[in-house]
Amino acid sequence: MKHLFRAVQLLIPLALSLLLCACGGSGGAPEPFDPAAASGALLDSGAFSETLESLDQDIACMLYGIDESTVTGCAVYGSTGATAEEIAVFTFSDAGGAAAGKAALETRVADQKSVLESYQPAEIVKLDAARIEQRGNSVLLVVANDSEAAAAALP
């Protein structure tokens, strides 16, 4: 009887561990954004009121005030008209670069609000609904006409 009790004591933690692993699935942090995949899904989402134009990495880093030496990839699209709509997805060499990139994107949105509030107040609504998110070594900024459609396009 004593051996049976000891065996049950050993099996309970094992069973609980297996149960937690099975239930946990992908319970960890979300996958980092892939610039091409995320921007492609957003462009196809119908969330934008106009066509967005691709920007080269060096121009994008200058526009957002991001140190290009920390960037390992990006996909950036800006408005071809006078709207605040844009997509920016950056990957960085480390989490510190990503944190600095996120801060730069937050500054961009604040600056856009200051610039557009006096002559294009309708764009402020889009900027208020901007999505800025860091996932691991990646960051994302989306300013869209339809923020719900943009959110639905991303995992």
pLDDT tens for each residue of 45-64: 999 999 999 999 999 999 99
pLDDT for residue 29:
77
In the predicted model, is pLDDT for residue 27 greater than 70?
A: no
Band of the pLDDT at 30, cuts 50, 70, 90? confident
- Give the tens place of pLDDT for each residue, 10-21: 434 444 443 444
Kindly report, residue by residue over 82-117, the tens digit of the pLDDT. Answer: 899 999 999 999 999 999 999 999 999 999 999 999
**Residue ranges per domain, the chain?**
31-153
Burial of 22 from C-beta contacts in 10 A (0-12 / 13-18 / 19+): exposed
pTM of the model: 0.81
Instruction: State how far the Cα of 149 lies from the Cα of 154, in Å rounded to an integer.
Output: 9
The phi and psi torsions of 140 (rounded to 5 degrees) equal -135, 140
Q: How far apart are CA 48 and CA 87, in angstroms?
A: 10
